[in-house]
């Protein structure tokens, strides 16, 4: 770090102030986490220098002996961790892994059936602003108006009507477990590929805290940086029969050279995720998430679906008369980092939204437990309902003081 500091104090300063930002606030973004120094060390390594187009033992560049070892270890660990036939660890991100699914199984104009973005899906699941909605015919399912959980009958009806090539299960704001067996049955009924986008919850699967989609899905894509707590990247596992198609879709169809330093960091992460400590962590993430949602409900902020089975909950703010945008700004001013989020059947535009999404991966990594979740619920409630976007507002200051106390007792990257 000394070399960076003397050559480029501007960027060194950003690295330090970002560390300070992480340490000084409550990090409740459901898709973020605090990865280990071991993962960060692999990320910042000389493996970044190496071109390695191709796969271990089949490269288009010389000098790949060492990176081959890293990628082979990463592949074997991913297969063991998820009990999968095949793993590809080269995707640069979750979106790149998802692109590969389209590349492997679909041609432009083919139909995909996936969850609608405003109901909890993801941009890459066929939204118009994404390649997936521009080049493919996307049909979307949503949630049931009463339960606010996935409307499986609608999935089945749409599948029968549109005969999609691929059915996608998974999304960015789904608080409940997904019925993979039901999705598999629907896919089989119409001869579709079942793709599970497990970006959000794969860490809970790795920790054996929730059921795995791997036995059911043709292909499971995921990010490695959310609950899983690895480097910012993507990966996928699939059935043996799709191994060659998925590998070709990642390279050379969608990507060029793999990021070998990130692949090494993924290997480290997969090793971490196979430990008993990580399994306890995954269970704690859910217990904390459930406590946070229950405490918010007691304070009048309703979790959609009535609660959560996972690391995240989606809170409907209509009962307290605050928009998602206002809530995000007020929380931010009080040192609480969370994001506004559309709720199912949201009357507001997406950039205003009626809800917020809160997740417990980061605070659980910091060692916080059920008592702290009760306190965090109270802090969110105070900031959102009585606070202000102005950091100098009395409520912002008062909540921030309590946040400072919490993060001092449970530090991120303890010194």
Contact status: 360 vs ligand PLP (CB under 6 A): no
Q: How far is the CB of 33 from ligand PLP (least distance, A)?
A: 12
**x-or-dash string of contact with ligand PLP, 55-94, rule CB under 6 A:** --------------------------------------xx
- Among candidate residues 23, 53, 79, 325, the one labeled active-site is 53
Look at residues 275, 289, 365, 261 and name the one whose alpha carbon lies nearest to residue 35. Answer: 365
Residue 232 known to be catalytic: yes
- Among candidate residues 124, 127, 223, 224, the one labeled active-site is 223
Query: CA–CA separation, 405 vs 7, rounded Å?
Result: 35
Residue 163 known to be catalytic: no
Residue 266 known to be catalytic: no
Annotated ligand binding at 121? The verdict is yes
Cβ atoms of 371 and 284 within 8 Å: the answer is no
Contact status: 32 vs ligand PLP (CB under 6 A): no
Residue 309 known to be catalytic: no
Look at residues 131, 336, 228 and name the one whose alpha carbon lies nearest to residue 122. Answer: 131
Nearer to ligand PLP, 94 or 361 (CB): 94
Nearer to ligand PLP, 113 or 294 (CB): 113
Contact status: 99 vs ligand PLP (CB under 6 A): no
Cβ atoms of 80 and 274 within 8 Å: the answer is yes
Put the strands of the sheet holding 355-359 in their side by side order. Answer: 302-303, 312-316, 355-359, 339-341
Contact status: 366 vs ligand PLP (CB under 6 A): no
143 DSSP assignment: B
Query: CA–CA separation, 270 vs 399, rounded Å?
Result: 37
Contact status: 31 vs ligand PLP (CB under 6 A): yes
Question: Which residue's CB atom is positioned nearest to ligand PLP?
Answer: 94
Residue 79 known to be catalytic: no
Q: How far is the CB of 171 from ligand PLP (least distance, A)?
A: 5
Annotated ligand binding at 122? The verdict is yes
Contact status: 170 vs ligand PLP (CB under 6 A): yes
Contact status: 172 vs ligand PLP (CB under 6 A): yes
CA distances to 146, 226, 278, 291, 300 from 28, rounded to whole Å, are 27, 12, 19, 14, 19
Nearer to ligand PLP, 178 or 199 (CB): 199
Query: CA–CA separation, 7 vs 99, rounded Å?
Result: 38
Contact status: 341 vs ligand PLP (CB under 6 A): no
Contact status: 381 vs ligand PLP (CB under 6 A): no
Which residues partner with 54 through β-bridges? 59
Q: How far is the CB of 222 from ligand PLP (least distance, A)?
A: 8
**Which of 39, 64, 87, 95 touches ligand PLP (CB under 6 A)?**
95
Query: CA–CA separation, 217 vs 413, rounded Å?
Result: 36
Number of residues that bind ligand PLP (CB under 6 A): 15
Residue 156 known to be catalytic: no
Counting Cβ atoms within 10 Å, is residue 288 exposed (0-12), middle (13-18) or buried (19+)? buried
Contact status: 98 vs ligand PLP (CB under 6 A): yes
Contact status: 407 vs ligand PLP (CB under 6 A): no
Peptide bond into 252 cis (omega under 30): yes
Look at residues 3, 19, 9 and name the one whose alpha carbon lies nearest to residue 415. Answer: 19
| Residues 180-209 close enough to bind ligand PLP by CB under 6 A | 197, 199-200
Contact status: 234 vs ligand PLP (CB under 6 A): yes
Query: CA–CA separation, 221 vs 96, rounded Å?
Result: 9
Query: CA–CA separation, 15 vs 11, rounded Å?
Result: 6
- Please, what sign has the CA dihedral across residues 103, 105, 108, 114? negative
Query: CA–CA separation, 51 vs 32, rounded Å?
Result: 29
Nearer to ligand PLP, 223 or 354 (CB): 223
Token pair in block for residue 403? 């946040």
Token pair in block for residue 143? 């949630």
Contact status: 122 vs ligand PLP (CB under 6 A): yes
Q: How far is the CB of 11 from ligand PLP (least distance, A)?
A: 23
Instruction: State the DSSP H helix or E strand holding residue 237, giving kind and residue range, or none if neither.
Output: strand 234-238
Contact status: 133 vs ligand PLP (CB under 6 A): no
Contact status: 364 vs ligand PLP (CB under 6 A): no
By CB under 6 A, name the binding residues for ligand PLP: 31, 93-95, 98, 122, 124, 170-172, 197, 199-200, 223, 234
Task: List binding-site positions.
Answer: 117, 121-123, 241
Task: List binding-site positions for (6S)-5,6,7,8-tetrahydrofolate.
Answer: 117, 121-123, 241
Residues tagged active-site: 51, 53, 197, 223, 226, 232
């Amino acid at each position: 770090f000394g070399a960076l500091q003397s050559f480029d104090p501007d960027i060194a300063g950003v690295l330090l102030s970002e560390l300070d930002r992480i340490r000084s606030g409550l990090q409740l973004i459901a898709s973020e986490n605090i990865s280990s120094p071991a993962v960060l060390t692999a990320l910042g390594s000389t493996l970044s220098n190496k071109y390695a187009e191709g796969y271990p033992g089949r490269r288009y560049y010389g000098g790949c002996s060492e990176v081959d070892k890293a990628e082979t270890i990463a592949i074997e660990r991913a297969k063991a961790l998820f009990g999968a036939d095949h793993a590809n660890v080269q995707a640069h991100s979750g979106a790149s892994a998802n692109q590969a699914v389209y590349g492997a199984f679909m041609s432009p104009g083919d139909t995909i059936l996936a969850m609608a973005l405003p109901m909890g899906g993801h941009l890459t699941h066929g939204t118009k602003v994404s390649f997936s909605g521009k080049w493919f015919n996307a049909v979307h399912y949503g949630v049931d108006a009463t339960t606010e959980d996935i409307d499986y009958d609608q999935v089945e009806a749409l599948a029968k009507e549109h005969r999609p090539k691929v059915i996608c299960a998974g999304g960015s704001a789904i608080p409940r477990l997904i019925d993979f067996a039901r999705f598999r049955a629907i896919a089989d009924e119409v001869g579709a590929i079942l793709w599970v986008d497990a970006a959000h919850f794969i860490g809970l699967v790795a920790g054996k805290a929730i059921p795995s989609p791997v036995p059911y899905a043709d292909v499971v894509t995921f990010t490695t940086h959310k609950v899983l707590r690895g480097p910012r990247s993507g990966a996928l596992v699939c059935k043996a029969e799709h191994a060659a198609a998925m590998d070709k879709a990642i390279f050379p169809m969608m990507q060029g050279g793999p990021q070998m330093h990130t692949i090494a960091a993924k290997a480290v992460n997969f090793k971490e995720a196979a430990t008993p400590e990580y399994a306890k962590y995954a269970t704690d993430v859910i217990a904390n998430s459930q406590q946070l949602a229950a405490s918010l409900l007691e304070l009048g902020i309703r979790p959609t679906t009535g609660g959560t089975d996972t690391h995240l909950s989606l809170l409907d703010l209509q009962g307290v008369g605050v928009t998602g945008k206002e809530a995000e700004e007020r929380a931010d001013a009080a040192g609480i980092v969370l994001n506004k989020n559309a709720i199912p059947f949201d009357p507001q535009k997406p950039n205003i939204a009626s809800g917020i999404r809160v997740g417990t991966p980061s605070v659980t990594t910091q060692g916080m437990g059920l008592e702290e979740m009760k306190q965090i619920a109270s802090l969110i409630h105070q900031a959102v309902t009585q606070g202000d976007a102005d950091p100098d507002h009395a409520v912002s200051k008062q909540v921030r003081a309590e946040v400072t106390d919490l993060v001092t007792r449970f530090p991120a990257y303890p010194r």
